[in-house]
Structure formats: C-alpha cells, structure tokens
Amino acid sequence: MQRNKNLISVSRLLFMCLLICPLSLWAQNISVSGTVTEASGEAIIGANVVEKGKPGNGTATNLNGRYTLSVPSNATLQVTSLGYTVKEVAVNGKTTINISLEEDTKTLDEVVVVGYGTQKRSALTGAVTTMDAKAIEQRPVTSATSLLEGKMGVMVTSETGQPGSDSSVRIRGFGSVNGNNAPLYVVDGFVYEGNITDINSQDISDVSVLKDASSAAIYGNRAANGVILITTKKGSSEKPHISLMMNQGFDQRSMPEYARLGTDQWMETTWTGWRNQYVSGQGNSTEDANRLANKTIVPSYYIANIYNKPDNLIFDDNGKLQAQIREGYKDDLDWFKAGTRDGRRQEYLLSGDGRIGANSDYYFSAGYLDQQGYTPNSDFKRFSGRAKINITPTNWFRTGFNIAATDQERSNMVTGGGLNGLFDQTRNMAPIYPVHLHDVATGNYILDDAGNKLYDASGRRKQDGERNVIWQNELNMDNTARKTMNGSLFAEITFLNDFRAKVSGSMDTRSSINSLYVNSTVGDGKSVNGSASNRSEQYKTYTMLEQLTYNKTINDLYDINVLVAHENYSYKYIYNYSRKEDEIFPNNPYLANFKTMTSINSYENNRRTESYLSRIQLNYNEKYYLDGSFRRDGSSRFHPDNRWGNFFSVGAAWNISKEAFMDNVPDLSNLKLRANYGETGNDAFDEDENVGTYGWMALYEIDAKTSSLTQTQRESKSIKWEASTSFGLAVDGRAFKRVNFTLEYFDKRSRDLLFYVNLPQSSGSTGNKKSPTLLRNIGSVANRGVELSLDAELYRNKNLSWHAAFSATTLNNKILKLPEENRAEGILSGNHKFIEGHSMYDFWLYQYAGVDQMTGRSVYLLDEAQRTAAASDILTINGVDYTYKATYAKRDFSGSPIPKLMGNFSTGVNYKGFALDVLFTYGLGNKVYDAPYKSLMSFGAGNAFALHQDILNSWTAVPEGMTNDSPNRIDRNATPIIDPTYNNDNNAGSSRWLINGSYFMFKNVNLSYSLPKQWIQSLALSNARLNATVENLFLLSARKGLNSQMSFNGEIADQASMPRVISFGVKVDF
C-alpha cells in the first residue's frame, strides 16, 4: 500500500512538471524587433519602446525607425514619440512587430466655445484664444480677468491691489476715444454686465476670447472691443464624483517700494536745499546761508525735535548731522511699513458632478473665499453657490437649468485729505515724523488708559499735522455688501433628424449697498463732526433667446450648419444715495445717528436691445471651410429714427495639409490658412448722452415758490453705433510633430467715433461745457498688429514630459480722423494729445533738455510761439535756444505707453506625480510717466515730503573745466540743484519723468504632487493632489518700485499694486 502511495505521489509530481514547463517556456524572454512608422509609412526616429510596467526596460528607434528589445513573450510594448498618440501592443510571443503611430490631433479635435455654440478648433476661421479648467485651477485669483494676462492679443492691467477688484482688459488695442474700450462678457451663452469677481473662478470650465469680427460679429452692436466667453463646468463623470479643494495662503505686496531717503539723509539733504535757497533767493554768502540753515531748518519742520541734541546743535557748519535719533522714535518713522501688513487668504470649494444615464448630467458647487489685503481695512469675502442640470428624457427633447448666487462683503481703504490715498500719504510722508504720539522730553510713546499707543494728529507735523492716515484708515469705514443671483433655463427639441429648436432665458439680479463713514475725531470728518453716506445700486437684466439650428452631413464630405435666432435683452439700473453729517454718538456709522441731511439723490436707467441673427458654416471634406454671420440690432439707446444697425462677418479657411502635395512634407502638418472680414459695433457710452435734458436751476428762479427749467443738454438724434471693421489673415500649423504655431495679422479700424462738436453760441447752452456742443459720429482709429503663438512638446516618455509655450503681439494704434475743428491742433488730454497720425495715448509733454552744468538748473527746449514772452528767460547754448521756465518750453510727442512687443512665456515639467508649471509675462519698448518718482524728486521750502535717493546725485557745483561754450554744458542725465527757489521749474512736469516701461513679470509658479493611487485607495479616494502656488512673484522694471503695468495710458500713480499671493492647498476627489 505504501509503495502505491509513493507511485501516486511521483506521478502527481511528474504531471505538475509537465504543466509548469510550458508556462515557464512561455514566460521566457524573447527578442522583439521591428520598425516604428507614422501613418504615411515614414520612419519615426527616436521613438521610445518600453515594456509596459517596467520603464527601465526600453530602447529608442534608430535613424531607420528600427528597434530591438528583449521582453517576456507575454509582455506589452508601450510606444511613445513626441507629436503622436501613445500606442500599446501585446507581444503574444511574436518576434517581429511593426508599429504605426497616429499623429496626436487632440488640439485640432478640441471643441472651442464660440458665439451661440461650439466648433472644432480645426474648423475655426476666426481668431479665438482659449484657456481651460486645468490652467484656471492652478491660479489663486479672485477674478477670472486676471487669467488673461499675456495671452495673445490681450492686454490686462490691475490698477489697484484692492481684493475683490476686477482687472481691466483690452483686446487688440483701443477702438474708442470717448467711449468704452472694454470687451463684452458672455457667461454660459448670455450677455453678462456684472463684476467678474461675482463668478467663482473654480466653477469655470473654459474661457474663450473672440478677437476678430469673424468670431465676434455674431454679437453685433456690442462686440467692437472683442468678446470674452466664460463657460461654467457641467457634469462629466460617468459616476457620481465629489471634489473638495482647500487653499490657505498669504497676501503680500509684490512690488518693492521706491528707494527713499532715510531720516538722517533726508535731514542733510533738506539742509542743503535751505542753504541753497538762502544763497539764490536771498543773496546771502555761503557762510551766512549755512548759519541760517542751521537756525531755520528744525523750527520749519518740527514742533518736537526727534534728535538727542538741541535744535541749533543738530548740524555742524557744513550741514552734517551731529546728533542721533532718540531711541523712542527709531521704530516709528516708517509710515509705509505702518500702512501695510501680511494679509491672509483662504479658499474652500466643495463640488460634485456626474451623469444620469447616457445624456443627462449635473454639477453643483459651494465655495467660500476670504482674502485680507496687504493694507489694513482692505478685505474681501465671498460665498458662492452653483447648480447646473441638463436632462435628456428622450432622444428628441433636452432641458436644463443653471442657477448661481453669491454673497459678498468688501471693505476698502478710506482716508480722505489732500493726499487722498493711503499709499499717497505713506509714500510721501517725510521720515522725520512719527506715526504715534511721543513724549517731547523723553521720546517715549504716549499710551492711553488701556496701554495702547496713541496716534499723532496733534499738529506737530508740518505736513497734514492734524491728520493721520493710519488712524483715519482704522476709524473710517467703506464697506460694500453685494448680493447676486442669476439663473437660466432652456428647452431644446430635435426634429426631422437635422433640426434643433432651442428656447432659453436668463435673469440676473444684483444689488449692492455701500456704506461710507468718516469719523469725527481726525481727518475730513472732524470739521463737520463726522459724516455717513449710503449708496444703493440695483441691477436687473433679462434675456430671451430663440434658436433654430440645422446641421447636416452629406456623403461624409459636406457639413452644413445653419443658425437663425432672435434675442431680446432688457436692462434696468436703480440708484439711490443719501448723506448726513453731525453724528450724535461717535463711531456709529448708521444714518440715524446723524442730524443733518446734506445730499439725497436717486434715478433709474432702462435700456432694451432686440436682435435678429444668423450664421452659416460650410465644410467640405475638412479641407475647405466657409462661414458667414449677419446680425441686426435695435437699441433703445438711440433715437427711434436711427435705432437699428446691421453687422456681419465672412470667413474662410483652407486646410492645406489635406492636399496631396503635402504628403511629401512630413515635418509640417495641420497647416491651415484662414482669412476673415467683418463689422461689429460699440454702443457703450453714457445712458443719457443722446437725449435732451433739463435741470432745475436756482439761477432761473421765477419767484420764491417757483423755479424754471433750462436745457442742460441738446438732443442728438443722428448718433449711432461706433462701428469697427476687422480684417485678419492667419496661418496655423504643426511642425516636426511637436510644435503648434499660429501667425496672424490683424487690421481693426473703428469709425463713426463719438465726439462733442461746438455749436454756435446762439444755439444755447448745453451741459457744463464752455460753449454749446452736440454729440456726433465723426472720428476714426486704427489698430494693426501681428500675433505669434508657439506651443511645443519638448520631451515625453512614460514618466517625464516637458512642454513650453510662447506668445508675442505687436500693436500699432493710430488716430485716423478727428472732428474738423480739432484736426490741426488736436485735443489735449492731460499728458496726452489726440491728433491724427498718432496713438490715442502718445505722450504730449514739455521737452526737457537736461541740466545746465553752469547753474545746476533744468533747461527746456524753447517754444517758438513763446519767444516774445520768454525774452528774458531765453538761454542760447551752442546755437540752440533753451529756457529755464517750463511754461515757455516746447511741447511735443514724447513716446507711447503701448508696448512694441508683449506676450508671455510658460513652461511645465511633469515627472511621475509631480508637476511644475511657471508663467512669465512681458512688455517691451514702451514709455510710462512716473508721477510718484517726480514727487519724490521735488523739493519745496516748507514742504515736508519724502525724497528719493536719486536726489543725492543733484548738482552741487560747476564741473572742473566746464565753460559757457562747452559742448557738453547740458547734461541730459544729470539731476538739477536742490533749491526751492527753482523747484517749480526744475521739477516741472515734462519728458524728464518718462522712463522705459518695459517689464518682465514672474506671474505664476505652481508645484503640485498627485499621490499614488495605492496610497489613497484605502480612503476611497480617486485622486489626491497637494499644491503650492505663488501668483505675482516679482516684477522687473526700469526702476525699483515702478509698477509699469498699472494703466493702459502709461500714467503711474500712488496706488496699491497687485498682491503677491502665496497659497498652499489640497484637492481630493471621491
């Protein structure tokens, strides 16, 4: 029996060996070879061939596209190459495997949102710039407008660092002189006139910028300045998907401050200025002037001396400090530091989406944002919610709704006073004045009963002594509460296979209440015992849209899409304002706490637009594309006799790569030539500009109880839309299977621009103008330029990819036509002048020549028209006539604030779960007018303002060897003498204050890490990502502290700059 058992065991062992041996043989490595080619049969050099799951076992194809690799006979090959889709091939014991890769055309197949629909990118005939959800989610921005900076053909400025504020956007230049140049915003298919900050940027799926008439003319009378389409997210997951995002971070000032003098340097520089004035203005000797300066300077600026020596011993006889700042004052003299802080930013978003069956979907979100600005009393809070459902109960009927709401609170800096802003006062305050009260004898802080430092508004300062901007900003309040609700509903039926009829409507309601309180203790409110005001604004817009679409494919060659639609838009705005003074109880901001009503006002504006529109899109074999659109708009903004306007576009595209002759050009694919032309309109001007108005005027009082009316504005029956025609020619393509490119020329011309023209005095008064005027369509402006975009996939394998993108735009803006009465002399506008042949924003300034090295004074080119008046002030040097007086100086064009080249550069690297993306923006070749620097370089007797360090380079004496006839007597780069006697002319507004406005902005850096799936599966998570982001990291400009991105017209002001936002976050998906 035992022997039989042993035989059975041996038999079983032999049987198992027979089973295992073939499996072992099957799993043995074999040598696999072959060729990797593209669809045309062309060999692909350098393609990566690896064993799936074992990235260490791989090879690259040679010059003939050949590869050889040893892999298990049951392995799977994974083949990748730049510009092609990834392909996986099972070995199945084969030793020869030839592989054909398909070109990666996902960019061409991408569906782009356009007006009243979508299109494949490959079918576009117009210029559309897009941004997707992935790029949006990486940016910690409050307003989606900030995302567009550096995009091709788009200019963005952020004039203030106030949290909750929108950036200003311009698309392909400036088309209107007196009207609005802002683009039209369309959200989920409906015109949107609210703040973009009302929309949670994390709810946005994509942004499309329609830049030319071919893409924008479908929006007709409001599309002259381009159109920005914002589409919110919808359900996309096959099963219910929940996402939670949490970000925490900091808000900091991104710009360094101007290089200002410290206290000791300021004192010595000020002494020099006083000394020079005693010489030039009063004729004293240098020795006497030195003694007078020692005697005068401290009493002129101080009521309390901050130094440790008596007034007459602070300086030696040559103006050098002999004293030190008393210890109690040292940390209290930097007003700029006192007016800033490190703010906090936190953001949370809970969202979910999914599909219901095959054709229905849903999306919802709830978000909270709390952003503290880097200046005290500048905060923004927003609660947001959205619900979006699309339901398809049958194959012929679809319906859905989209509802969103926000509740916002915003507080603003408010100070009042002669130097209006917090930044203005803190930047320009002389560094000799403390922020807080100090004991005159000891220099120690004076504290209140609770041990807190008291602010100094005691009149101890020469400059605004009874004000204190830090204290005012703390006591005053400027708060805005804003609530928005918008919803849309649609129903769509499909019939006769190719027809779709859709009816949709939207309603937006927005209300905001601004409460302004000015305290009675310090600042503007002190003289009236405090004041308070309330301003309420209500907005309501309604849109009804009916669309009929025909979509037909014939013989798999011809695609026809036809749209006809009717749209009705209604807008209502209600304004109420009231203001009272003389408060009863301190620090109570409500109107009921005030006794005296000083102002009350209210009004209502209404307007309506009715539109009929159509579009046809033709496509033959994805080779030839032709489309056209037509829209007719009627607007209540215009007189009934001139209310309707027609707008149109035509566009064509040729997919050259589809032609047979391109088969022999393997390195160039997706080559497309497109051209378009069209006309759009701009009706964005003040609501009542065209109507005749009458106002109550006490001047025309008939008796004690009756007042008469006088006409304040004449009716302009003939005015109509400002029109814009646009031509574009572009080429798109893909080179070397890895570089997508676009090169485009555009020519946009605006005509019928609105200007006020003078009427004869006999026609009667209108408005507050010096002479009767009437609004007319007269002017014309051109914007021409070239846009270039490059997007390259530089390297890719299974674990590592590297991509980069670059864009550049040139813009030439020129006024073509002005009213006849202004054609010769132009129209002055501050530091600018409108005149035919020049840009709208070209600087028109007094021409600064430099510093006269014999006197140290500024000299200017002489205006020949002022020669007689300037007879005694003409200075002839080397045969050229100059003047010391700026009022006699020649004014001339001095440069443009519009960059000659602008755009962005971005790059990103992905390695396994890590991703690093960076974005830079730039502008080159423009000028800006640096008014803050001008203030810091000006020195007037008795004015205690901060000074820039460059003033230390001021002229002090005639250089050795310099004579009246020296060819280098005028030094363009020198700094004039510090002397209040000549300050107004030495530092007058002129071309001296223009500086190179080129900039390079490190806009964003984002580092993220997606946790491996095996780490998070036990938590029932489908994805988990950690990220760290910095927005507005730093700006490089021609001068420390210069924010050359502040405005489109190049005017730099004392305002808060864009914040640096440092954010750390986590996003998990269930």
Q: What is the pLDDT of residues 809-831, one digit of tens each?
A: 999 999 999 999 999 999 999 99
Cβ atoms of 627 and 651 closer than 8 Å? yes
The strands making up 48-51's β-sheet, listed across from edge to edge, are 54-60, 48-51, 76-80, 87-90
What residue ranges in 853-925 does DSSP mark as E strands? 858-861, 874-877, 880-883, 891-893, 901-911, 914-924
Cα–Cα distance list, 339 to 144, 426, 430, 453, 562 (Å) = 28, 7, 14, 15, 59
In angstroms, rounded to a whole number, what is the distance separating the alpha carbons of residues 1033 and 1062?
Answer: 9
In angstroms, rounded to a whole number, what is the distance separating the alpha carbons of residues 704 and 459?
Answer: 46
The mean per-residue pLDDT over the stretch 614-626 comes to 95
The mean per-residue pLDDT over the stretch 302-329 comes to 89
Cα–Cα distance list, 50 to 103, 348, 795 (Å) = 19, 42, 16
Q: What is the pLDDT of residues 829-841, one digit of tens each?
A: 999 999 999 999 9
**What tokens appear for 382 in the block?**
């927003």
Q: What is the pLDDT of residues 281-303, one digit of tens each?
A: 888 999 999 989 888 887 777 76
**Backbone region of residue 145 per phi and psi (left: phi > 0; alpha: psi in -120 to 50; beta: other values):** alpha
Position with higher pLDDT, 104 vs 614: 614
**Backbone region of residue 223 per phi and psi (left: phi > 0; alpha: psi in -120 to 50; beta: other values):** alpha
pLDDT score for 707: 62
Cβ atoms of 392 and 357 closer than 8 Å? yes
For the chain, what is the mean pLDDT? 88
**φ, ψ dihedrals at 45, nearest 5°:** -90, 135
Position with higher pLDDT, 135 vs 629: 629
Res. 770: pLDDT tops 70: no
The mean per-residue pLDDT over the stretch 492-497 comes to 95
Q: What is the pLDDT of residues 40-89, one digit of tens each?
A: 677 887 788 888 877 668 788 887 889 898 889 888 998 887 667 788 89
Kindly report the number of other CB atoms within 10 A of residue 138's CB atom: 21
Per-residue confidence at 1001, pLDDT binned at 50, 70, 90? very high
Q: What is the pLDDT of residues 211-240, one digit of tens each?
A: 998 899 999 988 999 999 999 999 887 789
* b/e burial code for range 613-640 (CB count within 10 A of at least 16 → b): bbbebbbeeeeebebbbbbbbbbebbee
In angstroms, rounded to a whole number, what is the distance separating the alpha carbons of residues 965 and 592?
Answer: 74
In angstroms, rounded to a whole number, what is the distance separating the alpha carbons of residues 1070 and 1068?
Answer: 7
Rg from Cα positions in the chain: 35
Superfamily of domain covering 14-104: Carboxypeptidase-like, regulatory domain (2.60.40.1120)
The DSSP string of 155-223 is EEE-----TTPPPEEEESS---SSS--PPEEEETTEEE-S-GGGS-GGGEEEEEEE-SHHHHGGGGGG-
The strands making up 29-38's β-sheet, listed across from edge to edge, are 66-72, 29-38, 99-101
**What tokens appear for 261 in the block?**
């003098």
The mean per-residue pLDDT over the stretch 911-920 comes to 93
Domain residue extents for the chain:
14-104
Token match 């659109």: residue?
629
What residue ranges in 254-339 does DSSP mark as E strands? none
Percent of all residues in the chain with a pLDDT value above 70, rounded to a whole number: 92
**What tokens appear for 860 in the block?**
């200017």
Q: What is the pLDDT of residues 330-377, one digit of tens each?
A: 999 999 899 989 899 999 999 999 988 878 899 999 999 999 999 888
pLDDT score for 57: 80
Give the distance from CA 827 to its chain's centroid. 29
In angstroms, rounded to a whole number, what is the distance separating the alpha carbons of residues 839 and 835?
Answer: 8
Res. 404: pLDDT tops 80: yes
Determine the Cα angle at 732 with ends 729 and 738, to 5°. Answer: 160
pLDDT score for 585: 95
Res. 553: pLDDT tops 90: yes
> Which residues does 450 contact at the CB level (< 8 Å), separation at least 6?
none
pLDDT score for 768: 47
Cβ atoms of 293 and 282 closer than 8 Å? no
Q: For 429-456, what is the HEC assignment?
A: ECCCCCCECECCCCCCECECCCCCECEC
The mean per-residue pLDDT over the stretch 623-631 comes to 96
H or E element: which one contains 289? Answer: helix 286-301
For residue 884, the cross-strand partners are none
Cβ atoms of 258 and 931 closer than 8 Å? no
